[in-house]
Each structure stands twice: as C-alpha cells, then as structure tokens.
Structure 1
C-alpha cells in the first residue's frame, strides 16, 4: 500500500472549510487521534491551491519549555522572556512572504500541545487580520489562545467524527484499486469504527497475514481479520494497568457484547458498571430492547476475547446464554447468540431451541441460520428441521441441494403447508434462480388450479413470478385481492402480502404507474420488514422498486434519501440482500446526476456483494455497469462487462435494458445507426410487454443517438402511460432534436439542470450549441457552449462523443462530427471508412472540411482542438 493514503469522503466538512478560508475565517478541526484531521486540512490546502503559500506550526508533545516554542525561528533565547505576543506576531508577519493585502494561511498541527504564549501569538495574528488559521487538535483542554480563536469568531469549530461505512468502503477500494465485498468492508468498518489510522493498521495486518485475498472479482476475507501487533500492544498496555476486578468485569462485557444493561448490572454490580463507564472503558448505546454495554472500542473487546483463557470464556458465555434464554421475550438476536455459544461449547442438543434460533437467524445472517438449522436436522431429523433447512438452502442459491434434501421426505407425512413449502423451493429454484420465470410461474399455477385450498402465500409468490415474467396485468389481477382491499388487508398473512407486494409493486412500476407503486410499497414495507426471517429479500426488493419509481418521476433527491436509508439499515443489520440493492439504487441516482465514475464503483461493489440467490440479477446489473463505464470512457470495460454475463440467467423484464446498454456502447463507439436501431428495437420490445418506463427510456436513447424523427411518435405514445413530469421532459427533448430547435434545447438544458439531471443537461446544452451554429447564430451558439462547459465541469466522465467539438460552436454536420471524433481518437482513414461503410476518399473530404472549419492544418491538431484546447496555426 502507498505510504500516504488517498483522501476519501468528508465532502461536507471540506466544502465548509473551503468557504471559510475563502471568506477569511479559519477552522479549528477537532477529533480523536487518527480520525483524519490533518488529512482533511492537507486536502483542503491542496484543492484550493493554498498549500504552497501556507505556513506550518506544530505543537510539541515533549516541550522544551522555551517561551514561544512554536515560533522559535523569529526570536532569540535572550529576548524570549521579555517580548510580548504582539511583538512576536509582528516579527512572524514580517517573516512571511505573501502578496500585499492577503492574509497568511497558518496550518497548525496539534494545537492542543501549543504552549500558552505560542497560542497567544496565533490569536494575535488572527485578530490583526494577518493570518487565517487552520488548526487541528484533540477535543480536550485547549490552550486559552487556541480556545479563543473560535470563541472570538476567528475560527469555526469543525468536529470531525468517524468516517461513514460507505466512505470506509470507498477508501479501502481506492487503496486496493479494486472492489471489496460487502461483508469484508463491513468487518473493517466495524473494527476501525471510522478511524482511518486504525483502518490502515487493520488493512496492513490483513494483507501481511494473507487473510485479505483476491478472489478474481473482489477482495474478500478468508478468515477473521487480524489485529496488527501495534494495535494489540496499545490495547494491552492500557488494560495492563487495570485492577484485576476491573479486567475481569471487562472480560465479561467483551464475551457477550453487546450486553443488555440489566444483565450487566446483575452480573457485575451497579458500582462496577459505573466505574467502568467513568473510566471510559465501556460505552452505552441504545438498543432495540433498551440500553446495551460494549467495550469502549471494538478492538478492545477483540483483544480481551483473544486473551481470555478458553475455559473461562466458555463458562462466561454459557452463563450468558442461560440468562438470555430465560428472558420473558428474548430478542431474535439474543436467541441466535445463545444458540451459537452453546453450539461452540458442544451443548447445542435441544432441537426446539435450535429451530427457534435458526428461524430468528434468517433475518440476521443466512450462513448462521443454515448452521443452526443443519444442527437441528442432525439432532432430530424432524420434518420441520428438514423443510427449514431446505428453505434456507434455496435462499442461498443451492436449490439442487434443497431438492435432494426434500426428495427423501415420505409423502404421507406431509401436510398441505409442508407441500406448499416444497413448491416454494422448487418454484424459486426453477424461476428466479435460473431466470426461467415462466416455468416457475407455471409450476405454482398448477398447484393453485389443482388445490382450491391453496394458501395466499402461493398466490403472492405467483404474482411475483408473473411480474418478473413481464406479465404485469396478470400479476396485478393476482396480487390485487391480497393488497388493495382495506377491509380484508389485515386478515391476509404478512408473508403472503410481502410476496404479493413484490409482484404488485413491480407490476405497477413497469406499467408506468409509479405513484401507485410507491403507495403500495409504503403500505406494505412494515409487514415485509416484520417477516424478514421468512422472506429475507422482501423488504429490500420492495424498497429497490420504490427507488426506481422515484427516479422515473425525476424525484432524484427523494430516491437518493430512500436509498441511503436502505444502505444504513443494511449496514446496521448486515443484511446481505439490502446492501447490494442500496448500492444499485444509489448508482442509478449517480448516473442520472452525471456521476458515472461513482456509479461504476457502486455497481462493481453491488455485483461482488450479490448472494447466490440473486444471480438472476447479474445480467441486469452488468448492463448498468456497462452504461457507467461508457460514461467515463472505459469502452473496453463496458464491452467486458456485457460479455462476462453472456451465460448468466436472463430475466425477461430486464432484457430490454440489457439491449439498451449494448446500444449505449455502440453510440460511444460512434456506430450511431446501429445504436439507434438497437435502442429503438429494445424500446419496442418493452412497449410490447407494457414496460412503459423502459420503453420511454429506450426511445429517448434512440433520439439522442440521432433517431429523433423516427422514434418521436412511439415515444409520445409510451410516455402517456408513465406518471410524473420527467417522461414529458424526455419527449420534449426528442421533439426539440427532431425539429432542430435550439431555443427549445436551451430551455430543456435549464430544466434538466434545475432537476439535477446534470449529464443530460450538459448534453442538451451542447446540442443547443450545435443547432445554433447550424442556423448561423454563432453568438447564441457560444452561450450554449459555455453553459455546456459549466455543466460538464460539475459532472464526472466524458462528454457524448457524437457531440465532439460542440462546445466550440462551430457548424459541423453530424457526419463531420462523427468522422472528426473517430479521427481525433486515432482511427485511420481506412478504419473510419470501413466502420461507416463509405470510401476512404469521402472520409478525407469530410476531414478537410473539418480542418477548415476548426482552423487547423491537419489530424495532428484535431484531438486538442475538439477538446477545446488552443493550437498553434
């Protein structure tokens, strides 16, 4: 790893310090050691170009006792005791070279270690207006002069907390230059608690121990992440000085953390809990069932557990297990922990307790649920244990193993509910897991038609399979009675409602009824969350569709807020289904907002985090990843993403969007006629299946690639089925392109900008510049081109290649732009001719006209001129 880590995250804090420095106010950045205070200040200085002119001052942990120690360079030992802070400040000001009328930027590291006189000098410089101070310090007792910097208004306090889990994941992936699977990122984030210094130590230790390994697509942990020797010794040094009774109490907390406050008081005594809290050896946080105790830092607990003798640790945990199980209403999490402690101790022989814990574990971790269910199956061999294990195996993508397990069940022993459980496993395996949703739906339909008393759970499952088979109207017919009759709503089993909602919400979304989709999603989400142990993917899947509905309405802020809440819940619960779905939703927001690079990272993270159960979505996510790669100009990466999923299961509802990704790649390669045909064909397929939102997006893509006149009528027809105003904006865009109306394009660029659709706003402004130039309106063309440049600067990625040179406001024809872009990227005349199906002489004729219009003499100047760079003529 690099000696100096890249700077990631802290966007809000960095922007705040930027604005403060620009206005002449400083910042006092406070936080715990290693939290990234110095990195933030360094990043701000580098980004604003102030690093070179900044003066640096350091507090000293081991002070020499010299007056004005931080400014020793401007005083002598003889006058240090007699000069005043004002005099030292004047000398410092004289010693600093800077342009007249500007303030010195003072970067102060470890300001809490400054001696009082140095702190007074710093305050004097700020008060005189000769210095702007950027200081870092621990949030502890500060020297009077430093404290007055913010009390007197010369600095603003910036309290730097832990990095968020997504920022930790971004930092790890940036350092390793590759995706990291979600479980691994969560493990490092939890141990480091958002502290970059601890994260670096943990990551280095995992790489050195080969515990963090490359699996071909992502970095993943091959075992428990190790703690570096340095961190372990720091923790041990602090704990070594504790009295024996304190250490013993901490071992109990570490063995069972998080530990309910009531159990901790019962085991340790109220006085001991108070002492541990006063010494900051434990932390108390709110839990679902009340306050919970944990070690002051996750690494403290880890070191304590590693150092506790095994027999003592076993004794403590068995005692805790008994207390958790004896609770009047033990939480699912406590049931699971107690069962695992007994399993690890060789005492897990109670089938009923194991089954209860396994069912509870399905809402926590499927691998844990499988372990407990498998043990229950081994101990009892009961029908309930076998069926539960089969369902868990289905949810982890091992349908063949589930089928083999249930094949041995005696038919006479099965109840109607048991048979439906087997149908569920078979339908999910044949439908979602292979992408053959039609076969899965027919399997369920056969049972429903032959068994009048079949449960609503099967009907809900049938609705979900119909929706994913692009039979939305039929899905609504089946789901409607389970979802849309208020008088009967609460009488329906919440598991059945959850399945029905997956089908009903999805069907409404694909039909373009985004508002109704959102209403249904919000109505059923609480039920879906409550039955997560039975339908672990339900709530997350419904949230994903709701986010997509908001995106189709152009409600990007609401979609992003919803996706961020889903991401937070995924991190809190370690939910293997919610995590990748949140990344997908956020990536879709990023694509709309002109952040394809960020979207690319999210989609890569999403792909590697998919569970085996979710493999039917690989092809769709890969298509979105390809679109993001196109957005940043990684055409080979886009092609690889599309090729890599050629053999993945094909879900009927998502195939049109895969074809739209292929069309986007064709367009980026400037194979525009092929791109128009592919996009229009995919949109037509979506329209035939009544996936109106996909049809609108596809026809709009075809219009962007040059087919506006051909697709305008079907685009208008498709948009009439879709709620919200965003679809109308896309129709207006296609109409303006078809009419070559520069004024309409200018207005649309403003509308897209106001809605936060920055990449499209920049593209439309460039189209307006092209249209103005073609009409000879060169002043208006330059204004539109300038707007496009400003919008493009707010985006990531590369501009649309078919608009190459648009921001130059030069009247090139579409064919001239196409040939200029191909030549500018290095294609030979013969290669261009072969790709476009024209003669080499025609290519050369077009290029000659391009050179003349751009005011250049040949191909060697073309790329620079298209990029807007000045060239010598």
Structure 2
C-alpha cells in the first residue's frame, strides 16, 4: 500500500512551448506567469530557475512576496539589500539597485519573484527600474484571483519588458499523466475522468485529493490498475485552503454555494427563487459560481467542484435537510420538466422528512436503470423499500446490485420473496433478475437456464412467456447457440403480446446474433427498435456490439468507431458501463491499428470487471491477448491468455472463436507459426460450427495475415454465404496469398488501407513485398515494402510474421526463431526443452547455430538480437 507519494512537476507541453518560444528570442528579458492559485506557477518558476542555475557562472535571486510584507518598503527584498536610511525614495531606489547588482554580471543574473501581486510599491518600482536600466532577467508569478498588483508590476508586460504567459489548469490528459507518474501505474479511465472533474485540473487540489484518497484506500491498485471507488474526502490541509477562499465571499454568495453543495447544477430561476437575485449576482461577481447556457435555460455551477465539496462536508444534518426540502419544493412547484428533474427530485426527497411515495421512487428508479445509473437505482430502490417492503421495490434493487457485480447481495434481496405466494405476473417479474443473476454473476449458468424453463412451464400468459423467451434467447446467445438465440428472439419480436422489456431483450439479442452470423443488414433496424424501448440501460452495449460488428463487416471502420464512442458517451464515468464501452471501442481500435490505445483500455476494463460475472470480462482478456501477441509480447500475451482461459465458461461461450484467436496471436508472438495458424483455423471452425459466419470471416482474415496458404481453399465456403463487403475482400486476399499474386496482394492492401484497417493493409503489403522479391522484381518489392513500413508505423510497429520477414528479416529457421524468443523471455535451456518437448542437447544445438548465423557470442547476444525485433519467418506450409 502506498502511503507517501512522490509528486513531480505537472507536464505542461503547451506551456513549455510558449516559454521556450520566448526564451529563444535573443532580446527576451523574462516572463510573467499568471493564473489562479494552485495551477503550478511556482513549480514552473522553479524549473526556470534550475535551468538558469545550470550555468556555473549564473546568479539567481529568489524573492517570495507575501501579503504581510506588502506595506513594508522593500519588504520582499529585505534579505538581499543593505540600505542606509535615506530621505528620498529616489535615493533609496538607486541604493537598492547598486546593492542588488554589486559584484555581479547583470547578464547572468535571474530574479524570480513568486506571488508578485503582493509586492510593495517600492519593490515593484525597483523591479521596473532594473528592467529599464540593467541587463538582468526576470521571472514573475502572479495570482489573477487575489487583488490588483502594483502598477509598476503590470507595467512590466504592458511595456513589453517581460512576456505575459497565462497559466491555466491542467488538461484532462495532463492530469492523468501526472497522477499516473506519481502512482507508478495506469489509472482506470473512469477514475481519471472523475479525478479531473473533481480537481478541475488544479495540480495543488489534485495532489491533496490523491494523497487523501490513497490514505483512505478509496484509490487503490487492483491488478496494477488504479481505481477510485466510493466517496472522495477532503484532507484537512485542502479543506483549510478552500475555506480561506470561501471566507472572503459575501454572505449571499456563500448561501448560493450551500444550495449548489446539495444539488448542482441548478437553474438560475430556481436559485433566484431560493436565495434572491442579489445573492446569485454576488456569487457570480465574486467568482464563486459560473453561469452557463444549457438548452433553453441558464444553469449555475460552482466555480470549482471542490467549493461545493468543502461546504457540503461542513453542513449539519438539519441544514442539509432544510435545503433539500426547499429544493424539492421548488422543483415540485414549477413541475419537473424532464427526466433529470424527476430523478433529482426523487433523490433529494430522500434527504427530507417527507420522501416521495414508493411508486414515485420506483418509477424514478426504473428511469435511472434505463440511463445506466446503477448506483442511483440502488439509492432510490432502497428508499422505496424502506418505505414499504414489496416485491416491486426489491426488483430494481436486485437488478442494480446484480449489474454492479454484487451477485450475492442481489440473490439475498430476492431470496426474501416466497414465490409460492406470487401471482403469475409477479412470478415472471421475479424470475428475470433471479435467473440473470445466476447466469452471469453467480456462475450458475446451466441452473439459471433450467430455472427459466421451469418457470415458463408454470406461466400461461403470452406476454409473460414472451419476456421469459427473450431472456432465454440472451442466455442461448451467450452460450454460443447463436442460431437458436436468433430464432427465439425473432419469435418474440413478431409476437402481438410482447411488451417493452421483451422487445428490448429480443432486439438486442437479434441485433448481435445477426451481426455475428454475418447478416449486418437487419442490425440497424433492430438496434433502433431496441433503443426505443425502456430496458435496463446496459442492453445498450449488447446492441452497440452488434452495431460495431455489422459496421466492421461492411468495412466501415469510421461508422463502427462512431457507434462505439456513442456508447462511451452514454456510459460516462459510471461503472461497469464505462469498462464495457471501453471494450467496444477497443474492438474498433484493434481493427484500425491503434493497438497501444486499445491495449491500455483493455487492461483497465478487464480489471474493472474482474469481480463481476459479465461475459465482457473474458472478452476483454481475449482481445488483450490478441493485441499483445500482435505487438510481439509473448510473455504478457501468454499470461493474459491464461487468465482468459480460467474465466471462460458457458456465459461467455459465444466468444469461443475470440479465445482461439487469442491463442493464435500468442503463438505468433512466440514465433510458433504452425501453432498460430492452427489456432486461427480452429477459430474459423468454431465460429462456423456455431453459425457465427461473420465472426468466421473476421477470424479468416487473421489466419491469412498469419500466412495460412490453405485458407483460400475453404474461404469461399464461408465468405460465399455472406453479402457484406469485407468477407469478399478477405476471400480475394486469401486467394492472392495462395497464388503468390503480388499485384493482387498490393491491391487488397490498398483497399484495407482505404477503409482504415491498417494492420491488415500492412500485412498484405508485406506479403506482397516478399512475393515480389521471390519473383526478382526489385521495384515491386521496394514499393510494397515501403507501403508496409508506412502502415506498420501508423499502427505503432506491430510484430507480425509478415512484417518481420519483409521489414527486417533474420536468417533463422522457424524452430531457431521460437527458441530465441524464449531465451529473450529469460527461460533456461532446460525450461525451453521441457516446454517444447525437446532434449536439452537439441536446444543447445539450435542456440549454437543461431548464434553462428547472427554473429553473436552467446545467449545474451541472441536475446538482444531477438528483442531488437525483426525475426524472419519461414513461409507456412501449404
């Protein structure tokens, strides 16, 4: 557990670009770094001072101005000056200049003044005169939210003696980079977004927040990924800093912030009604709040999120209750205008003495479910349950707990129900969350399917049977029975008795089933129909996977990415939605070639879903192993693959082909090409047998990229049954590889590149280069190799068999290549022999021959050669 964090200077590439541009000018004299407190001005000034001090002849004077010395002549410079009493200010200034610059080469002197807004008039005038009458250089830091600096200070940049550079908060990416450098590991994307939202990019606030979160273990490392869970709290130093600022606000502005501490944002009209127009205006004038336009109304937010956080922590129980009651009354009096108003009204009412009626809270809970806010669902459902225990209060609560991965708690909520006393309709309502929780979160998939079938046999109502069938179709889909799942879902969709929930589940199942079966045409209509219903919000991601898969089959990577980013926007920072949305985006990024970005997202998604039963978790691990394999990292790919195999089961059987592809690329990273091609073929076979022809076509693409020369013989059996654009291109690609047709390989490479599928383009071009070389066509070889190098670089230089052979071959056989990789991973000859079922002497012989071919002295040299990349590959046997 980390207890003391070592904070570094915040990354500021844009700011440093400005500073360096100023310092590169021969006539430059200095900079004024201006911005609000805590944004890192002093840290930048210290870095500039350190740069200056690198010259042994340099002289640096550091001046720290303070409010307490702002009325004392030369108060800030008192530790540097020796002045005799003088009657006139002019004489004092002359004496001060002489004292400061005595025995110093002015051209090598740097004066740094921190918090220059607090300089007394004489000190400010001294600086101004020094800049006019000497050759010194100057760095100033000033707060722009702490009064007006002396005229002589502002004149420094107005007279162009120094260059003004405004320093704002960190950007989101800079915030994440800083925190990850301090923690020594990656942040979960939702955690990064949350820390940025709370700190608003202020480095000082961020430091206090992270330190406190680590101390309280709200921020902790899980499998190497840092996650923020639960409520953040303010440390005492941070609360004191913020309180000092708040104490300067007028009473009316503070009162406005009290209401925003309970609920933000608030409409201007609501705040005016509650606090008065003058108070709202005071708050805006004092810089305590920000007024923005949203839709057709004006909304008020705290100027900084931590202002409200600080005030909220200080409010007493009775004050919170009074403000919540007033807010509820205000929203109710004017009438909730949209769903966010209704949800805020419901949640706020729980803080009052008169919460909403149970049916109103439950209505709000289901609306929150549709929006994917599972924590709010839990809060509202618990409120309803405390008011009156009932099945219909327990249902949304069980749903929310299950989808948060808290399967045992969800089951306990439902276990309190005596199902023998339930009506037929209530029995259906009970079995849906019960069976879903068993299937996914509790790992009792077969038992869940049997339970659903048993309850269906007791139900005579057609509508009840429809919704049970819709869930059963989803179970069948996840179990890999894709064709049966689609047939069941289609029966529900044409049923006259099917209600919204049944339509939603069936539409999501049908959309994903059609996409994976290679039938993308019906997917858009099915997706639209499902999204029109009022389902649990997480169904949006099932629909999203169907949409992205369909778009990829059409070769439309841009459309696939737009769909994935739409799901990401819907998820926001809420888990598990954010982790699932990141997986969706990663599937597209892998096809596009953004392998590093995809890998980072998949690592954190897999960790976020570790303690849940979502089938998305195993999928994240499978995709991660594929990415690591394509990047040539066998050891990491093998470790992730092992985790994927451990968690694979009935609830994720649909992704059996993806698991085989993970194995294929893991073998490829070890340079075991026959095993890689065999696993890729197994992926195609598994997909075809389960009716997932679209997935089979995508797996076929990987097989051809790996160099499978036989793929062309059976590719038409799969691609010939699909009407989408990409399968036809894959079939042409397979035939071109089998025929050794370099021109056709170049053409298909260009087509892949035009659609944005750069990894496939790079491999096809590399294979074309090798065929040109074999035919003795030097111009063709160079042309194709240059294209492969360009597309490979755009993907972050993946390490695939074709690219290795074409771009930087090494004269090793397939077996020698595999042994060399294992040596680079640190395995001994004995361990390699055991893994490859060889004798130690055989391994030693391969090592000796490899060293001789490469001209290296020993195993260390061989490992270094392999780690440098570029191992050649023998062509896969036909």
Range class of TM-score, shorter chain: 0.7 to 0.9
Confirm or deny: 8 A CA contact 1:785 1:808 kept in the other structure: no
Q: 1:208 to 1:861 in 2, by over 3 A?
A: closer
- Confirm whether residue 591 of structure 1 aligns to residue 590 of structure 2: yes
Following superposition, the deviation at residue 771 of structure 1 comes to 4.3
Q: What is the CA–CA distance in structure 2 between the aligned matches of 1:484 and 1:168, rounded to whole Å?
A: 51
Question: Paired residue for 1:73?
Answer: none
Please identify, of 276-285 and 472-481, the stretch whose mean Cα deviation from structure 2 is larger.
472-481
- Confirm whether residue 258 of structure 1 aligns to residue 265 of structure 2: yes
Q: What is the CA–CA distance in structure 2 between the aligned matches of 1:859 and 1:774, rounded to whole Å?
A: 32
Confirm or deny: 8 A CA contact 1:110 1:136 kept in the other structure: yes
Following superposition, the deviation at residue 684 of structure 1 comes to 0.4
Q: 1:754 to 1:561 in 2, by over 3 A?
A: same
1:24-57 CA-to-partner distances (Å, cap 9, x unmatched) read 99999997555579999999xxxxx9x999x999
| TM-score, reference length from structure 2 | 0.76
Q: How many residues align?
A: 817
Q: What is the CA–CA distance in structure 2 between the aligned matches of 1:698 and 1:42, rounded to whole Å?
A: 55
Following superposition, the deviation at residue 304 of structure 1 comes to 1.4
Question: Paired residue for 2:529?
Answer: 524
Confirm or deny: 8 A CA contact 1:390 1:402 kept in the other structure: yes
1:410-438 CA-to-partner distances (Å, cap 9, x unmatched) read 23xx253x232123224423544447389
- Confirm whether residue 711 of structure 1 aligns to residue 719 of structure 2: no
- Within a 5 Å distance, the mapping from 1:400-479 to structure 2 comes to 400-408=411-419, 410-411=421-422, 414=423, 416=425, 418-433=426-441, 434=443, 436=445, 439=449, 443=453, 446=456, 450-454=460-464, 457-458=467-468, 460-479=470-489
1:137-179 CA-to-partner distances (Å, cap 9, x unmatched) read 9899996896899xxxx99999967634x77556544542445
Following superposition, the deviation at residue 281 of structure 1 comes to 1.3
Question: Paired residue for 1:374?
Answer: 382
Q: What is the CA–CA distance in structure 2 between the aligned matches of 1:611 and 1:813, rounded to whole Å?
A: 40
Q: 1:822 to 1:613 in 2, by over 3 A?
A: closer
Q: What is the CA–CA distance in structure 1 between the aligned matches of 2:25 and 2:454, rounded to whole Å?
A: 69
Question: Paired residue for 1:698?
Answer: 699
Q: What is the CA–CA distance in structure 1 between the aligned matches of 2:602 and 2:455, rounded to whole Å?
A: 35
Question: Paired residue for 2:551?
Answer: 550
Following superposition, the deviation at residue 621 of structure 1 comes to 1.8
1:327-385 CA-to-partner distances (Å, cap 9, x unmatched) read 42365444444444454456548434443443344346323423432343343234433
Confirm or deny: 8 A CA contact 1:742 1:769 kept in the other structure: yes
Q: 1:595 to 1:136 in 2, by over 3 A?
A: farther
Question: Paired residue for 2:330?
Answer: 323
Following superposition, the deviation at residue 301 of structure 1 comes to 0.7
Following superposition, the deviation at residue 537 of structure 1 comes to 1.0
- Confirm whether residue 628 of structure 1 aligns to residue 627 of structure 2: yes
Q: What is the CA–CA distance in structure 2 between the aligned matches of 1:112 and 1:761, rounded to whole Å?
A: 59
- Confirm whether residue 208 of structure 1 aligns to residue 215 of structure 2: yes
Question: Paired residue for 1:238?
Answer: 245
Q: 1:798 to 1:611 in 2, by over 3 A?
A: closer
Confirm or deny: 8 A CA contact 2:514 2:520 kept in the other structure: yes
Match of residue 495, structure 1, among 471, 495, 501: 501
Following superposition, the deviation at residue 462 of structure 1 comes to 4.5
Confirm or deny: 8 A CA contact 2:670 2:818 kept in the other structure: no
Confirm or deny: 8 A CA contact 1:695 1:715 kept in the other structure: no
Following superposition, the deviation at residue 502 of structure 1 comes to 0.5
Following superposition, the deviation at residue 406 of structure 1 comes to 2.7
| TM-score, reference length from structure 1 | 0.76
- Within a 5 Å distance, the mapping from 1:543-692 to structure 2 comes to 543-571=544-572, 574-610=573-609, 615-645=614-644, 646-647=646-647, 649-650=649-650, 651-692=652-693
Residue 292 of structure 1 aligns to a residue in which SS? strand
Q: What is the CA–CA distance in structure 2 between the aligned matches of 1:40 and 1:752, rounded to whole Å?
A: 46
Residue 626 of structure 2 aligns to a residue in which SS? helix
Please identify, of 167-176 and 248-257, the stretch whose mean Cα deviation from structure 2 is larger.
167-176
Following superposition, the deviation at residue 677 of structure 1 comes to 1.9
Confirm or deny: 8 A CA contact 2:626 2:665 kept in the other structure: yes
Q: 1:181 to 1:857 in 2, by over 3 A?
A: closer
Question: Paired residue for 1:800?
Answer: 800
| Structure 2 portions without partners, runs of 5+ | 78-89, 95-104, 133-138, 871-878
1:595-642 CA-to-partner distances (Å, cap 9, x unmatched) read 433322211221233397652332222211222333445434333333
1:68-115 CA-to-partner distances (Å, cap 9, x unmatched) read x9xxxxxxx99x99xxxxxxxxxx99999xxxxxxxxxx999999999
Q: 1:748 to 1:860 in 2, by over 3 A?
A: farther
Match of residue 302, structure 1, among 295, 301, 309: 309
Residue 502 of structure 1 aligns to a residue in which SS? helix
| Structure 1 portions without partners, runs of 5+ | 44-48, 70-76, 82-91, 97-106, 124-133
Confirm or deny: 8 A CA contact 1:440 1:465 kept in the other structure: no
Question: Paired residue for 2:275?
Answer: 268
- Within a 5 Å distance, the mapping from 1:344-363 to structure 2 comes to 344=351, 347-348=354-355, 350-362=357-369, 363=371
Q: What is the CA–CA distance in structure 2 between the aligned matches of 1:174 and 1:633, rounded to whole Å?
A: 25
Q: What is the CA–CA distance in structure 2 between the aligned matches of 1:839 and 1:628, rounded to whole Å?
A: 32
Please identify, of 241-250 and 664-673, the stretch whose mean Cα deviation from structure 2 is larger.
241-250
Question: Paired residue for 1:280?
Answer: 287
Q: What is the CA–CA distance in structure 2 between the aligned matches of 1:16 and 1:552, rounded to whole Å?
A: 43
Q: What is the CA–CA distance in structure 2 between the aligned matches of 1:420 and 1:660, rounded to whole Å?
A: 39
- Within a 5 Å distance, the mapping from 1:761-800 to structure 2 comes to 761-774=761-774, 788-796=788-796, 799-800=799-800
Q: 1:692 to 1:223 in 2, by over 3 A?
A: closer
Confirm or deny: 8 A CA contact 2:672 2:814 kept in the other structure: no
Q: What is the CA–CA distance in structure 1 between the aligned matches of 2:368 and 2:788, rounded to whole Å?
A: 52
Please identify, of 110-119 and 351-360, the stretch whose mean Cα deviation from structure 2 is larger.
110-119
Residue 614 of structure 2 aligns to a residue in which SS? helix
- Within a 5 Å distance, the mapping from 1:31-430 to structure 2 comes to 62=65, 163-164=171-172, 168=175, 172-178=179-185, 180=187, 184-214=191-221, 218-221=225-228, 223-287=230-294, 290-329=297-336, 331-344=338-351, 347-348=354-355, 350-362=357-369, 363=371, 365-396=373-404, 397-398=407-408, 400-408=411-419, 410-411=421-422, 414=423, 416=425, 418-430=426-438
Q: 1:255 to 1:703 in 2, by over 3 A?
A: closer
Q: 1:828 to 1:482 in 2, by over 3 A?
A: closer
1:833-866 CA-to-partner distances (Å, cap 9, x unmatched) read 6655677787777777766765667665445555
Residue 188 of structure 1 aligns to a residue in which SS? helix
Q: What is the CA–CA distance in structure 2 between the aligned matches of 1:718 and 1:774, rounded to whole Å?
A: 30
Q: What is the CA–CA distance in structure 1 between the aligned matches of 2:277 and 2:144, rounded to whole Å?
A: 29
Q: What is the CA–CA distance in structure 2 between the aligned matches of 1:258 and 1:294, rounded to whole Å?
A: 5
Residue 284 of structure 2 aligns to a residue in which SS? helix
Question: Paired residue for 2:514?
Answer: 508
Following superposition, the deviation at residue 790 of structure 1 comes to 4.8
Q: 1:237 to 1:544 in 2, by over 3 A?
A: same
Confirm or deny: 8 A CA contact 1:476 1:507 kept in the other structure: yes
Q: What is the CA–CA distance in structure 2 between the aligned matches of 1:350 and 1:834, rounded to whole Å?
A: 69
1:286-329 CA-to-partner distances (Å, cap 9, x unmatched) read 45784332221111111112233432232222222233334423
The two structures, once aligned, show a CA RMSD in angstroms of: 5.5
Confirm or deny: 8 A CA contact 2:851 2:857 kept in the other structure: yes
Residue 522 of structure 2 aligns to a residue in which SS? helix
Confirm or deny: 8 A CA contact 2:669 2:799 kept in the other structure: no
Residue 287 of structure 2 aligns to a residue in which SS? coil
Question: Paired residue for 1:734?
Answer: 734
Confirm or deny: 8 A CA contact 1:804 1:818 kept in the other structure: no
Q: 1:829 to 1:740 in 2, by over 3 A?
A: farther
